[in-house]
Amino acid sequence: MKDFIWHPDNQLIENSNIARFMKRENISDYAALIKKSTKDIEWFWNACLKDLDIKWQKPYEKLLDQSEGFPWAKWFLGGEINIVDQCLDRHIQEGRGDKVAFTWIGDCGAEKILTYQELYDQVNALASSLKSLGVQKGDRVGLYLPMISEMVVCFFACLKLGAIIIPIFSGFGPEPLAVRLQNAEAKVLITADGSFRRGKKINIKESADQAIARVDSVKHVIVVKRTFEEIPWDDNRDIAYEDLLKKASVPVETARLDAEARSMIIYTSGTTGLPKGTVHTHAGCLAQMTKELAYYFDTKSEDVFFWVTDIGWMMGPWEIIGTTSLGASFVIFEGAPDYPEPDRLWRIVEKHGVTIFGISPTAIRLLMKQDSKWVEKNDLSKLRILGSTGEPWDPESYRWFFEKVGQKRCPIINISGGTELVGCLLAPLPIMPLKACTLGGPGLGMDVDVVDEEANSVRGEVGYLVCRQPAPSMTKSFWKDNGRYLETYFSKWPNIWFHGDWAIVDEEGYWFLQGRADDTIKVSGRRTGPAEIEAALMRHPACAEAAAIGVPHEIKGESIVAFVVLKDQFVESLELAEEFIAQVAEVLGKTLRPEKLYFVSALPKTRSAKIVRRAIKNKYLGKDLGDLSSVENPQVLDQFNLLGQK
């Protein structure tokens, strides 16, 4: 038990949503629940949706059809459902319109609060106007919007009509935007005149105009005012968002939709080729997202939920749908987490009474660079649950989050899944003891495993993370690309979902991630992942962030090259580099000692704060970089090219 850093108290266990479910199903402990839910997935999903009181327009007749095989599984046959019915309409019908739906905080500190009634009214007005523009079931609508309150209205208005949303990160330039709109054959694009980050204006409409010049399918561009500055305007195509809201509107019924009706196409960058359009349904999103927020994060209607995310990352839709499905409140913010002061996030948590807070490990490593007084000066006492996803943790950063932010009393619900799932394969439950960095175990209803090359289950050693049975939220192929979908997930083993991560299960049944399998480094026959090297580097008090890659070596097969971002008070030196290298050797053994170590100013990351090791490696080796559209700071890659030439 010495490895456990947190234990749930009796009050949390007794009052949790998952305890309610277990009592209802006469299950005595969480281990039995996980085992039953992952083997008898049909029992679990039927029982789960009943417990969560998911609102069906028409109840389904059959839960699951696998007659065409795992890749083409169909869910909730005969059922009809719309996300908006569950997330908005029912709250108004049941008299909860005065409850706060969400709070928006701008880069400048401005705030806006919308109740469920106000959100409902604006969604209906916009849906009516969109319908008058010809938007109907199955049409694709691009959301190229910053994290502003209008984004939430647009999100639900499209879903209300049965249109398919394409959420796109507003920091993308014209090229990645055009590729996504063209691939999806979008009919309408909703964008903004601009946004703000670190006090500086960011042009958005100009990028949209350049992209649309290459996309014949877009007929209308709806523009939200954020900067209120003059922007290019096409009277034949562009429409002001506020004009649509003001139009006399005819009430629009929430569309009745087949359970398998598409709700979103979320694009995720591949290592090669065009981005992959993952396809999600109304029923699949509702089932998975509601389950996860209710059971993993113990979200209740009185909670205030705040995840540091963007609408272009799956965690944006996940937060919006999951919280409103449960009638809770959520927070969104525009800008950077450390501007105008390093305690911006902690001030938001205090001021708005946040009870559940989620962030990526990489973002925590950024905030750790500052003195801990920035956390300590704020009252975080209302927090009861912490969350994380995006990258494997290192123990030092995990403990900082647990101790400084959670004050050693909040569990870290560390989850892992992906855009193609809009949910989790792995997640702890809030009623289980936790070890540092663990992901607990299989998500409820997710038949996941760790296997060797022959797909045999392995324990106590690193293996491939896979899923042996389907889940409702898994992507319905890739948009217009069945072949790539099958190649990506089902070509390694038939009818087994290959997720692409390394994982390990310890002797007590706790699961840990080891990074992406395609990032694997093999030195003198020993296989490791970057996360293991990076965690060893992070133990050094001078290390703010680290990345490790494997490069060809004529004797060892591969050697390790490491990159370190120093904390502000430390200065680069050869002696310091040797200290880092020696530390890895001490922790992991001489075999995994980095051959070379460089100090860099920053690491390239996606908007969701994932380190882009593929790009680092390719730049270092002078290879083609592939798709960089998801990289927020591609300019930092130049330093890796120079290092590789030394």
Tens digit of pLDDT for each residue in 263-272? Answer: 999 998 755 5
CB 540 within 8 Å of CB 394: no
Per-residue model confidence as pLDDT tens digits over 46-60: 999 999 999 999 999
Token pair of 252 as six digits: 């629009």
Query: What does the angle CA 636 – CA 616 – CA 392 come to, to the nearest 5 degrees?
Result: 105
Residue 645 has pLDDT above 60, yes or no: no
The mean pLDDT of the chain is 94
- Residue 208 domain-assigned (yes or no): no
pTM: 0.89
Taking the mean position of all CA atoms in its chain, how far away is CA 118?
27
3-state SS string for 102-168: EEEECCCCCEEEEEHHHHHHHHHHHHHHHHHCCCCCCCEEEECCCCCHHHHHHHHHHHHHCCEEEEC
Amino acid (one-letter) located at 32: A
CA distance 390 to 398: 13
Token pair of 575 as six digits: 């002696």
Per-residue model confidence as pLDDT tens digits over 119-171: 999 999 999 999 999 999 999 999 999 999 999 999 999 999 999 999 999 98
- Residue 533 domain-assigned (yes or no): yes
Q: What is the pLDDT of residue 524?
A: 77
CA distance 264 to 267: 10
Q: Following DSSP, what letter does each residue of 227-278 receive, concatenated?
A: S-------TTTEEEHHHHHHS-----PPPP-BTT-EEEEEEE--SSSSPEEE
CA distance 440 to 433: 9
- In the DSSP assignment, the letter for residue 414 is E
- Residue 109 domain-assigned (yes or no): no
Distances (CA, A) of 467 to 71, 430, 442, 537, 594: 11, 23, 10, 32, 33
CA distance 295 to 293: 6
Closest CA to 636 of 534, 572, 565, 571: 565
Unique residue bearing structure tokens 């042996």: 468
- Residue 511 domain-assigned (yes or no): no
Distances (CA, A) of 267 to 78, 204, 300, 618: 28, 19, 30, 22
Q: Which residues on neighbouring strands pair with residue 410, listed in sequence order?
A: none
- Residue 116 domain-assigned (yes or no): no
Which tops the pLDDT comparison, 626 or 541? 541
- Residue 95 domain-assigned (yes or no): no
- Residue 640 domain-assigned (yes or no): yes
CA distance 466 to 215: 37
User: What is the pLDDT averaged over residues 510-521?
Assistant: 85
Q: Provide the pLDDT confidence category of residue 644 given band limits of 50, 70 and 90.
A: low
Residue 626 has pLDDT above 90, yes or no: no
Dihedral over Cα of 571, 575, 578, 583: its sign: negative
CA distance 164 to 257: 12
- Residue 138 domain-assigned (yes or no): no
Q: Provide the pLDDT confidence category of residue 520 given band limits of 50, 70 and 90.
A: confident
Residue 195 has pLDDT above 70, yes or no: yes
Amino acid (one-letter) located at 604: P
Cis peptide bond N-terminal to 340, omega within 30: yes
Domain residue limits at 600: 520-644
Give the number of other CB atoms < 10 A from CB of residue 113: 14
Per-residue model confidence as pLDDT tens digits over 334-386: 999 999 999 999 999 999 999 999 999 988 988 998 889 999 999 999 999 99
Q: Are strands 441-442 and 463-467 parallel, antiparallel or unpaired?
A: unpaired
Q: Provide the pLDDT confidence category of residue 248 given band limits of 50, 70 and 90.
A: low
Q: What is the pLDDT of residue 175?
A: 87
**Number of compact structural domains in the chain:** 1
* CATH label of the domain that carries residue 536: 3.30.300.30
Which range, of 76-80, 268-272, 438-442, 563-567, averages the lowest pLDDT? 268-272
Q: What is the pLDDT of residue 2?
A: 63
